[in-house]
Protein backbone atom coordinates (compact mmCIF):
# COMPACT_ATOMS: atom_id res chain seq x y z
CA UNK A 1 0.00 0.00 0.00
CA UNK A 2 1.23 3.47 -0.83
CA UNK A 3 0.20 6.30 1.47
CA UNK A 4 -0.55 9.86 0.53
CA UNK A 5 2.07 12.42 1.65
CA UNK A 6 1.22 13.88 5.06
CA UNK A 7 -1.15 16.85 4.94
CA UNK A 8 -2.55 16.03 1.48
CA UNK A 9 -5.98 14.67 0.56
CA UNK A 10 -7.73 12.69 -2.14
CA UNK A 11 -11.20 13.82 -3.12
CA UNK A 12 -13.78 11.23 -4.09
CA UNK A 13 -16.36 12.03 -6.76
CA UNK A 14 -19.03 13.34 -4.35
CA UNK A 15 -16.56 15.60 -2.57
CA UNK A 16 -15.13 16.79 -5.86
CA UNK A 17 -18.59 17.56 -7.16
CA UNK A 18 -19.34 19.67 -4.04
CA UNK A 19 -16.04 21.48 -4.47
CA UNK A 20 -16.80 22.29 -8.09
CA UNK A 21 -20.28 23.58 -7.20
CA UNK A 22 -18.86 25.86 -4.49
CA UNK A 23 -16.06 26.96 -6.82
CA UNK A 24 -18.66 28.03 -9.38
CA UNK A 25 -20.42 30.17 -6.77
CA UNK A 26 -17.12 31.84 -5.85
CA UNK A 27 -16.26 32.49 -9.49
CA UNK A 28 -19.73 33.87 -10.26
CA UNK A 29 -19.52 36.20 -7.25
CA UNK A 30 -16.06 37.50 -8.20
CA UNK A 31 -17.20 38.01 -11.79
CA UNK A 32 -20.36 39.82 -10.65
CA UNK A 33 -18.01 42.58 -9.42
CA UNK A 34 -15.99 42.59 -12.65
CA UNK A 35 -12.97 40.51 -11.58
CA UNK A 36 -11.24 38.45 -14.29
CA UNK A 37 -9.55 35.11 -13.66
CA UNK A 38 -5.80 34.67 -14.11
CA UNK A 39 -3.45 31.73 -13.59
CA UNK A 40 0.15 31.57 -12.36
CA UNK A 41 2.63 28.69 -11.96
CA UNK A 42 2.48 26.26 -9.05
CA UNK A 43 6.13 26.98 -8.22
CA UNK A 44 8.02 30.27 -8.19
CA UNK A 45 11.58 31.44 -7.60
CA UNK A 46 12.25 31.34 -3.88
CA UNK A 47 13.17 35.04 -3.63
CA UNK A 48 9.72 36.12 -4.88
CA UNK A 49 8.01 34.06 -2.24
CA UNK A 50 10.23 35.23 0.62
CA UNK A 51 10.08 38.96 -0.22
CA UNK A 52 7.79 40.55 2.38
CA UNK A 53 6.01 37.31 3.12
CA UNK A 54 6.62 37.29 6.83
CA UNK A 55 8.44 34.89 9.14
CA UNK A 56 5.55 32.54 9.49
CA UNK A 57 5.24 31.77 5.81
CA UNK A 58 8.98 31.56 5.16
CA UNK A 59 9.33 29.07 8.01
CA UNK A 60 6.69 26.86 6.40
CA UNK A 61 7.84 26.89 2.79
CA UNK A 62 8.22 23.85 0.58
CA UNK A 63 11.43 24.74 -1.23
CA UNK A 64 14.11 22.89 -3.14
CA UNK A 65 16.93 23.30 -5.65
CA UNK A 66 16.00 22.25 -9.17
CA UNK A 67 18.44 20.39 -11.47
CA UNK A 68 19.79 23.72 -12.71
CA UNK A 69 20.65 24.73 -9.14
CA UNK A 70 17.87 27.34 -8.90
CA UNK A 71 16.11 27.91 -5.60
CA UNK A 72 12.43 27.15 -6.13
CA UNK A 73 9.41 27.19 -3.81
CA UNK A 74 5.91 25.79 -4.15
CA UNK A 75 3.62 28.80 -3.82
CA UNK A 76 2.38 29.29 -0.24
CA UNK A 77 -0.17 31.90 -1.37
CA UNK A 78 -1.07 33.79 -4.55
CA UNK A 79 -0.74 37.50 -3.84
CA UNK A 80 3.01 37.65 -4.54
CA UNK A 81 2.73 35.65 -7.81
CA UNK A 82 -0.21 37.81 -8.96
CA UNK A 83 1.73 41.00 -8.23
CA UNK A 84 4.76 39.63 -10.10
CA UNK A 85 2.47 39.01 -13.08
CA UNK A 86 1.02 42.50 -12.72
CA UNK A 87 4.46 44.14 -12.73
CA UNK A 88 5.61 42.11 -15.75
CA UNK A 89 2.47 42.25 -17.89
CA UNK A 90 -0.23 44.60 -16.71
CA UNK A 91 1.26 47.86 -15.46
CA UNK A 92 -0.01 49.74 -18.52
CA UNK A 93 -3.56 48.40 -18.27
CA UNK A 94 -6.12 51.07 -17.32
CA UNK A 95 -6.79 51.11 -13.57
CA UNK A 96 -8.14 49.56 -11.55
CA UNK A 97 -6.96 46.10 -12.53
CA UNK A 98 -9.33 43.51 -11.04
CA UNK A 99 -8.00 39.96 -10.91
CA UNK A 100 -9.18 36.74 -9.29
CA UNK A 101 -7.64 33.31 -8.87
CA UNK A 102 -8.33 29.84 -7.67
CA UNK A 103 -5.40 27.56 -7.01
CA UNK A 104 -3.59 25.11 -4.78
CA UNK A 105 -1.03 26.38 -2.27
CA UNK A 106 1.56 24.59 -0.15
CA UNK A 107 2.72 25.20 3.40
CA UNK A 108 4.82 22.79 5.45
CA UNK A 109 2.70 23.03 8.59
CA UNK A 110 1.65 20.50 11.21
CA UNK A 111 -1.49 19.02 9.66
CA UNK A 112 -4.75 18.99 11.61
CA UNK A 113 -8.41 19.49 10.82
CA UNK A 114 -8.63 22.54 8.55
CA UNK A 115 -4.85 22.82 8.21
CA UNK A 116 -3.20 21.03 5.34
CA UNK A 117 0.11 21.00 3.49
CA UNK A 118 -1.71 21.31 0.20
CA UNK A 119 -4.81 23.51 0.31
CA UNK A 120 -6.75 25.72 -2.06
CA UNK A 121 -7.16 29.48 -2.08
CA UNK A 122 -9.73 31.55 -3.95
CA UNK A 123 -9.11 35.25 -3.90
CA UNK A 124 -9.16 38.63 -5.59
CA UNK A 125 -6.69 41.49 -5.99
CA UNK A 126 -7.80 45.04 -6.75
CA UNK A 127 -4.78 46.93 -8.10
CA UNK A 128 -4.36 50.65 -8.72
CA UNK A 129 -6.72 52.42 -6.34
CA UNK A 130 -6.47 53.36 -2.69
CA UNK A 131 -9.88 54.94 -2.48
CA UNK A 132 -12.13 53.92 0.40
CA UNK A 133 -14.85 52.70 -1.99
CA UNK A 134 -12.37 50.20 -3.48
CA UNK A 135 -11.38 48.84 -0.08
CA UNK A 136 -15.02 48.68 1.03
CA UNK A 137 -15.95 46.84 -2.17
CA UNK A 138 -13.22 44.24 -1.62
CA UNK A 139 -14.71 43.41 1.79
CA UNK A 140 -18.21 43.37 0.25
CA UNK A 141 -17.08 40.78 -2.33
CA UNK A 142 -15.91 38.45 0.47
CA UNK A 143 -19.16 39.01 2.34
CA UNK A 144 -21.21 38.28 -0.80
CA UNK A 145 -19.36 34.99 -1.33
CA UNK A 146 -20.56 33.81 2.08
CA UNK A 147 -24.08 35.07 1.47
CA UNK A 148 -24.23 33.27 -1.88
CA UNK A 149 -22.87 30.04 -0.37
CA UNK A 150 -25.44 30.30 2.43
CA UNK A 151 -22.92 30.29 5.32
CA UNK A 152 -24.55 31.79 8.43
CA UNK A 153 -22.29 31.37 11.46
CA UNK A 154 -19.32 33.61 10.79
CA UNK A 155 -17.76 36.85 12.03
CA UNK A 156 -16.05 39.45 9.88
CA UNK A 157 -13.41 41.43 11.78
CA UNK A 158 -11.87 44.56 10.31
CA UNK A 159 -8.75 46.32 11.55
CA UNK A 160 -6.12 48.71 10.23
CA UNK A 161 -2.38 47.98 10.15
CA UNK A 162 -1.71 51.53 8.90
CA UNK A 163 -2.72 52.81 12.36
CA UNK A 164 -0.32 50.39 14.07
CA UNK A 165 2.54 51.21 11.66
CA UNK A 166 2.05 54.97 12.14
CA UNK A 167 2.26 54.65 15.93
CA UNK A 168 5.53 52.72 15.52
CA UNK A 169 6.85 55.26 13.00
CA UNK A 170 6.48 57.93 15.68
CA UNK A 171 9.07 56.00 17.68
CA UNK A 172 11.19 55.77 14.48
CA UNK A 173 10.82 51.99 14.24
CA UNK A 174 12.01 50.99 10.73
CA UNK A 175 9.78 48.88 8.50
CA UNK A 176 11.52 45.52 9.06
CA UNK A 177 11.26 45.96 12.83
CA UNK A 178 7.61 47.02 12.46
CA UNK A 179 7.11 43.70 10.65
CA UNK A 180 8.63 41.73 13.55
CA UNK A 181 6.31 43.55 15.95
CA UNK A 182 3.28 42.86 13.73
CA UNK A 183 4.24 39.19 13.48
CA UNK A 184 4.45 38.97 17.26
CA UNK A 185 1.05 40.65 17.59
CA UNK A 186 -0.34 38.13 15.10
CA UNK A 187 0.97 35.23 17.21
CA UNK A 188 -0.93 36.68 20.18
CA UNK A 189 1.90 36.42 22.73
CA UNK A 190 1.50 39.53 24.95
CA UNK A 191 4.65 39.00 27.01
CA UNK A 192 6.86 38.50 23.97
CA UNK A 193 5.33 41.64 22.44
CA UNK A 194 6.11 43.80 25.49
CA UNK A 195 9.69 42.49 25.55
CA UNK A 196 10.15 43.20 21.86
CA UNK A 197 8.73 46.75 22.10
CA UNK A 198 11.24 47.44 24.90
CA UNK A 199 14.13 45.95 22.97
CA UNK A 200 13.34 47.92 19.83
CA UNK A 201 13.24 51.17 21.79
CA UNK A 202 9.57 52.02 21.29
CA UNK A 203 8.88 55.05 23.49
CA UNK A 204 6.74 54.60 26.59
CA UNK A 205 3.98 56.83 25.22
CA UNK A 206 3.79 55.02 21.86
CA UNK A 207 3.99 51.62 23.54
CA UNK A 208 0.96 52.48 25.64
CA UNK A 209 -0.92 53.83 22.64
CA UNK A 210 -0.20 50.68 20.67
CA UNK A 211 -1.21 48.30 23.46
CA UNK A 212 -4.44 50.22 24.09
CA UNK A 213 -5.34 50.30 20.38
CA UNK A 214 -4.72 46.56 20.08
CA UNK A 215 -7.34 45.96 22.77
CA UNK A 216 -10.09 47.75 20.87
CA UNK A 217 -12.71 45.35 19.60
CA UNK A 218 -16.46 45.71 19.19
CA UNK A 219 -19.13 47.60 17.34
CA UNK A 220 -18.00 50.65 15.43
CA UNK A 221 -19.98 53.07 17.59
CA UNK A 222 -18.44 51.71 20.79
CA UNK A 223 -14.88 51.43 19.55
CA UNK A 224 -14.14 54.43 17.33
CA UNK A 225 -14.59 57.22 19.91
CA UNK A 226 -12.06 55.42 22.15
CA UNK A 227 -9.64 55.12 19.24
CA UNK A 228 -9.91 58.86 18.50
CA UNK A 229 -9.15 59.62 22.15
CA UNK A 230 -6.11 57.33 22.28
CA UNK A 231 -4.67 58.70 19.03
CA UNK A 232 -5.21 62.40 19.78
CA UNK A 233 -2.30 64.40 18.38
CA UNK A 234 -0.80 61.33 16.68
CA UNK A 235 0.01 60.90 12.99
CA UNK A 236 -2.07 57.74 13.11
CA UNK A 237 -5.20 59.91 13.32
CA UNK A 238 -5.23 60.34 9.53
CA UNK A 239 -5.28 56.55 9.13
CA UNK A 240 -8.13 56.29 11.61
CA UNK A 241 -10.17 58.77 9.56
CA UNK A 242 -9.59 56.69 6.42
CA UNK A 243 -10.62 53.60 8.34
CA UNK A 244 -13.86 55.29 9.38
CA UNK A 245 -14.62 56.16 5.74
CA UNK A 246 -14.28 52.51 4.72
CA UNK A 247 -16.55 51.36 7.54
CA UNK A 248 -19.10 53.99 6.60
CA UNK A 249 -19.23 52.82 2.96
CA UNK A 250 -19.63 49.20 4.03
CA UNK A 251 -23.11 50.01 5.27
CA UNK A 252 -24.23 50.49 1.67
CA UNK A 253 -23.53 46.79 1.09
CA UNK A 254 -25.31 45.71 4.34
CA UNK A 255 -22.08 44.09 5.49
CA UNK A 256 -22.13 43.14 9.17
CA UNK A 257 -18.76 43.48 10.86
CA UNK A 258 -16.84 43.87 14.12
CA UNK A 259 -14.09 46.45 14.42
CA UNK A 260 -10.96 44.71 15.67
CA UNK A 261 -7.84 46.87 15.84
CA UNK A 262 -5.86 43.92 17.21
CA UNK A 263 -5.59 42.27 13.77
CA UNK A 264 -1.95 42.24 12.59
CA UNK A 265 -1.97 39.46 9.88
CA UNK A 266 0.93 37.08 9.39
CA UNK A 267 2.27 38.58 6.14
CA UNK A 268 4.63 41.55 5.93
CA UNK A 269 3.13 43.34 2.95
CA UNK A 270 0.04 44.85 4.59
CA UNK A 271 -0.03 48.61 5.01
CA UNK A 272 -3.63 49.67 5.72
CA UNK A 273 -7.08 48.15 6.23
CA UNK A 274 -6.97 44.43 7.08
CA UNK A 275 -9.73 41.94 7.66
CA UNK A 276 -10.29 38.34 8.69
CA UNK A 277 -13.38 36.15 8.63
CA UNK A 278 -13.85 33.45 11.25
CA UNK A 279 -16.22 30.48 11.14
CA UNK A 280 -16.38 29.79 14.87
CA UNK A 281 -17.50 26.18 14.48
CA UNK A 282 -14.12 25.31 12.99
CA UNK A 283 -12.29 25.69 16.33
CA UNK A 284 -8.54 26.32 16.21
CA UNK A 285 -8.34 26.78 12.42
CA UNK A 286 -11.37 29.01 12.18
CA UNK A 287 -9.99 31.71 9.88
CA UNK A 288 -11.64 31.11 6.53
CA UNK A 289 -10.55 34.34 4.85
CA UNK A 290 -7.88 36.99 5.26
CA UNK A 291 -6.87 40.09 3.36
CA UNK A 292 -6.35 43.80 3.26
CA UNK A 293 -4.51 46.71 1.69
CA UNK A 294 -0.86 46.11 0.88
CA UNK A 295 2.17 47.27 -1.01
CA UNK A 296 4.15 44.83 -3.17
CA UNK A 297 4.47 46.40 -6.64
CA UNK A 298 7.44 48.55 -5.68
CA UNK A 299 9.15 45.60 -3.98
CA UNK A 300 8.89 43.74 -7.30
CA UNK A 301 10.39 46.61 -9.30
CA UNK A 302 7.21 48.36 -10.43
CA UNK A 303 5.86 51.84 -9.84
CA UNK A 304 4.34 52.22 -6.36
CA UNK A 305 0.71 51.12 -6.78
CA UNK A 306 -1.88 50.71 -4.04
CA UNK A 307 -3.54 47.29 -3.91
CA UNK A 308 -6.07 45.47 -1.83
CA UNK A 309 -7.34 41.89 -1.84
CA UNK A 310 -8.17 38.74 0.08
CA UNK A 311 -8.03 34.97 -0.13
CA UNK A 312 -10.50 32.42 1.12
CA UNK A 313 -9.17 29.15 2.44
CA UNK A 314 -11.42 27.11 0.17
CA UNK A 315 -11.09 23.86 2.16
CA UNK A 316 -12.03 25.56 5.41
CA UNK A 317 -14.97 27.22 3.71
CA UNK A 318 -16.33 23.81 2.72
CA UNK A 319 -15.72 22.41 6.21
CA UNK A 320 -17.65 25.34 7.68
CA UNK A 321 -20.59 24.70 5.33
CA UNK A 322 -20.60 21.01 6.23
CA UNK A 323 -20.65 21.87 9.94
CA UNK A 324 -23.74 23.98 9.39
CA UNK A 325 -25.20 20.81 7.91
CA UNK A 326 -25.75 22.69 4.74
CA UNK A 327 -22.89 21.41 2.72
CA UNK A 328 -23.13 22.18 -0.93
CA UNK A 329 -26.06 20.73 -2.86
CA UNK A 330 -24.94 18.43 -5.63
CA UNK A 331 -27.06 16.81 -8.27
CA UNK A 332 -26.17 13.74 -10.25
CA UNK A 333 -24.76 15.10 -13.48
CA UNK A 334 -25.58 12.12 -15.72
CA UNK A 335 -29.10 12.70 -17.06
CA UNK A 336 -29.49 9.68 -19.32
CA UNK A 337 -28.54 6.02 -19.23
CA UNK A 338 -28.81 3.72 -22.23
CA UNK A 339 -29.21 -0.04 -21.86
CA UNK A 340 -29.91 -2.73 -24.46
CA UNK A 341 -32.32 -5.55 -23.56
CA UNK A 342 -29.93 -7.98 -25.27
CA UNK A 343 -26.18 -7.86 -25.93
CA UNK A 344 -26.76 -8.32 -29.66
CA UNK A 345 -28.27 -4.79 -29.62
CA UNK A 346 -25.13 -3.29 -28.04
CA UNK A 347 -24.02 -1.40 -31.15
CA UNK A 348 -27.53 0.06 -31.62
CA UNK A 349 -27.55 1.12 -27.98
CA UNK A 350 -24.13 2.72 -28.39
CA UNK A 351 -25.35 4.63 -31.46
CA UNK A 352 -28.35 5.89 -29.49
CA UNK A 353 -26.05 6.99 -26.64
CA UNK A 354 -23.99 9.04 -29.12
CA UNK A 355 -27.19 10.84 -30.18
CA UNK A 356 -28.55 11.28 -26.65
CA UNK A 357 -25.22 12.68 -25.38
CA UNK A 358 -25.84 15.70 -27.61
CA UNK A 359 -28.94 16.43 -25.52
CA UNK A 360 -27.26 15.92 -22.12
CA UNK A 361 -24.70 13.89 -20.16
CA UNK A 362 -25.30 10.24 -20.99
CA UNK A 363 -23.86 6.91 -19.84
CA UNK A 364 -24.21 3.47 -21.36
CA UNK A 365 -23.96 0.11 -19.63
CA UNK A 366 -20.33 -1.00 -19.97
CA UNK A 367 -20.63 -4.22 -17.98
CA UNK A 368 -22.77 -6.37 -20.30
CA UNK A 369 -25.39 -6.46 -17.55
CA UNK A 370 -28.90 -7.81 -17.84
CA UNK A 371 -31.66 -5.21 -17.96
CA UNK A 372 -32.65 -5.51 -14.29
CA UNK A 373 -29.11 -5.07 -12.97
CA UNK A 374 -28.44 -2.20 -15.36
CA UNK A 375 -31.61 -0.45 -14.14
CA UNK A 376 -30.44 -0.92 -10.55
CA UNK A 377 -27.15 0.80 -11.43
CA UNK A 378 -29.02 3.77 -12.95
CA UNK A 379 -31.23 3.98 -9.89
CA UNK A 380 -28.25 3.80 -7.46
CA UNK A 381 -26.58 6.64 -9.32
CA UNK A 382 -29.81 8.67 -9.32
CA UNK A 383 -29.80 8.97 -13.11
CA UNK A 384 -33.22 10.45 -13.92
CA UNK A 385 -33.92 8.95 -17.39
CA UNK A 386 -33.12 5.56 -18.93
CA UNK A 387 -33.39 4.65 -22.63
CA UNK A 388 -34.18 0.95 -22.99
CA UNK A 389 -33.18 -0.36 -26.40
CA UNK A 390 -35.38 -3.38 -27.34
CA UNK A 391 -35.41 -5.42 -30.53
CA UNK A 392 -39.10 -5.03 -31.35
CA UNK A 393 -39.11 -1.26 -30.71
CA UNK A 394 -35.92 -0.82 -32.75
CA UNK A 395 -37.56 -2.47 -35.72
CA UNK A 396 -40.21 0.28 -35.59
CA UNK A 397 -37.53 3.00 -35.14
CA UNK A 398 -38.50 3.49 -31.52
CA UNK A 399 -36.78 3.32 -28.10
CA UNK A 400 -38.36 3.19 -24.63
CA UNK A 401 -37.74 6.18 -22.35
CA UNK A 402 -38.25 5.52 -18.65
CA UNK A 403 -38.59 8.31 -16.11
CA UNK A 404 -36.88 6.84 -13.02
CA UNK A 405 -38.54 9.33 -10.67
CA UNK A 406 -42.16 8.53 -11.59
CA UNK A 407 -41.62 5.05 -13.05
CA UNK A 408 -43.56 6.15 -16.14
CA UNK A 409 -42.34 4.89 -19.49
CA UNK A 410 -43.16 5.72 -23.09
CA UNK A 411 -41.85 5.11 -26.56
CA UNK A 412 -39.97 7.84 -28.41
CA UNK A 413 -38.99 7.94 -32.05
CA UNK A 414 -35.23 7.60 -32.58
CA UNK A 415 -35.40 9.89 -35.62
CA UNK A 416 -36.98 12.57 -33.44
CA UNK A 417 -34.06 12.36 -30.99
CA UNK A 418 -31.78 13.28 -33.87
CA UNK A 419 -34.11 16.07 -34.92
CA UNK A 420 -34.44 17.44 -31.38
CA UNK A 421 -30.76 18.01 -31.17
CA torsion sign for 136, 142, 148, 152 is: negative
Sketch the per residue contact string, 311 through 350, with ligand HAM: x for CB under 6 A, - otherwise. Answer: x-x-xx----------------------------------
Nearest approach, Cβ of 128 to ligand HAM (angstroms)?
Answer: 14
**Residues facing 157 on adjacent strands:** 258, 276
The yes or no reply on residue 115 touching ligand HAM (CB under 6 A) is yes
**Neighbouring C-alpha atoms within 13 Å toward the C-beta of 336:** 21
**Angstrom distance (rounded) from CA 296 to CA 88:** 13
Nearest approach, Cβ of 230 to ligand HAM (angstroms)?
Answer: 27
Among 310, 336, 337, 387, binds ligand HAM (CB under 6 A): 310
Closest CA to 295 of 94, 79, 45: 79
> Could you check whether the bond before residue 96 is cis, i.e. omega within 30 degrees of 0?
yes
The yes or no reply on residue 132 touching ligand HAM (CB under 6 A) is no
**Angstrom distance (rounded) from CA 7 to CA 343:** 47
Stretch near ligand HAM under the rule CB under 6 A, chosen from 40-48, 95-103, 238-246, 289-297: 289-297
What string of H, E and C letters represents the secondary structure of 174-192? Answer: CHHHHHHHHHHHHHCCHHH
Stretch near ligand HAM under the rule CB under 6 A, chosen from 150-158, 236-244, 307-315, 384-392: 307-315
- Of residues 109 and 170, the one with the C-beta less far from ligand HAM: 109
Other beta carbons within 10 angstroms of residue 188's beta carbon come to 10
- Of residues 77 and 220, the one with the C-beta less far from ligand HAM: 77
Query: 138-174: buried (b, 16+ CB within 10 Å) or exposed (e) per residue?
Result: bbbbbbbbbeebebeebebbbbbbbbbbbbbbbbebe
**Residues facing 217 on adjacent strands:** 260
Nearest approach, Cβ of 124 to ligand HAM (angstroms)?
Answer: 8
**Residues facing 276 on adjacent strands:** 157, 290
Sketch the per residue contact string, 144 through 173, with ligand HAM: x for CB under 6 A, - otherwise. Answer: ------------------------------
Instruction: Check if the beta carbon of residue 203 is closer than 8 Å to that of residue 173.
Output: no
**Angstrom distance (rounded) from CA 153 to CA 317:** 11
The yes or no reply on residue 125 touching ligand HAM (CB under 6 A) is yes
The yes or no reply on residue 186 touching ligand HAM (CB under 6 A) is no
- Of residues 79 and 178, the one with the C-beta less far from ligand HAM: 79
The yes or no reply on residue 278 touching ligand HAM (CB under 6 A) is no
Nearest approach, Cβ of 175 to ligand HAM (angstroms)?
Answer: 18
Among 309, 349, 355, 414, binds ligand HAM (CB under 6 A): 309
The yes or no reply on residue 289 touching ligand HAM (CB under 6 A) is yes
- Of residues 311 and 374, the one with the C-beta less far from ligand HAM: 311
* CB burial of residue 280 (10 Å; 0-12, 13-18, 19+): exposed
Phi-psi group of 118: left, alpha or beta (phi > 0 → left; psi -120 to 50 → alpha; rest → beta): beta
Helix (H, G, I), strand (E, B) or coil at 276: strand
- Of residues 311 and 328, the one with the C-beta less far from ligand HAM: 311
**Angstrom distance (rounded) from CA 374 to CA 353:** 15
Nearest approach, Cβ of 250 to ligand HAM (angstroms)?
Answer: 17
Q: Contacts with ligand HAM: how many residues (CB under 6 A)?
A: 25
Among 291, 306, 340, 390, binds ligand HAM (CB under 6 A): 291
**Angstrom distance (rounded) from CA 159 to CA 260:** 5
Nearest approach, Cβ of 26 to ligand HAM (angstroms)?
Answer: 13
Stretch near ligand HAM under the rule CB under 6 A, chosen from 92-100, 281-289, 365-373, 405-413: 281-289
Among 50, 79, 129, 179, binds ligand HAM (CB under 6 A): 79
- Of residues 135 and 315, the one with the C-beta less far from ligand HAM: 315
The yes or no reply on residue 104 touching ligand HAM (CB under 6 A) is no
Nearest approach, Cβ of 246 to ligand HAM (angstroms)?
Answer: 15
Instruction: Check if the beta carbon of residue 324 is closer than 8 Å to that of residue 151.
Output: yes
Nearest approach, Cβ of 310 to ligand HAM (angstroms)?
Answer: 5
Instruction: Check if the beta carbon of residue 173 is closer than 8 Å to that of residue 202.
Output: yes
Q: Within its chain, how far is the Cα of 203 from the centroid?
A: 40
Among 288, 297, 386, 389, binds ligand HAM (CB under 6 A): 288
Question: Residue numbers of the site for ligand HAM (CB under 6 A)?
Answer: 77, 79, 107, 109, 115-116, 119, 121, 123, 125, 266-267, 287-292, 294, 309-311, 313, 315-316
Amino acid sequence: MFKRPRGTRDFLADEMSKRRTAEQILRATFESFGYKEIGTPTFENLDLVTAKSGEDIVEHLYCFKDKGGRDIALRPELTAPVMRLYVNELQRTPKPVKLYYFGNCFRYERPQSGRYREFWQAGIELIGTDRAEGEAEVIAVAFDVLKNLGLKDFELHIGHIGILRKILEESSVPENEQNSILNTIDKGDGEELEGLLHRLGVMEEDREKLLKILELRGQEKEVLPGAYRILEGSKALEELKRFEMILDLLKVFDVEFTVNLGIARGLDYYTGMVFEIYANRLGAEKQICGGGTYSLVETFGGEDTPSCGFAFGFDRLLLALELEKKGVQVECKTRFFVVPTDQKLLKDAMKISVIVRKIGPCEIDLMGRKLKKAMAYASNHEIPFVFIVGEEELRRGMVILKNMGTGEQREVEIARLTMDR
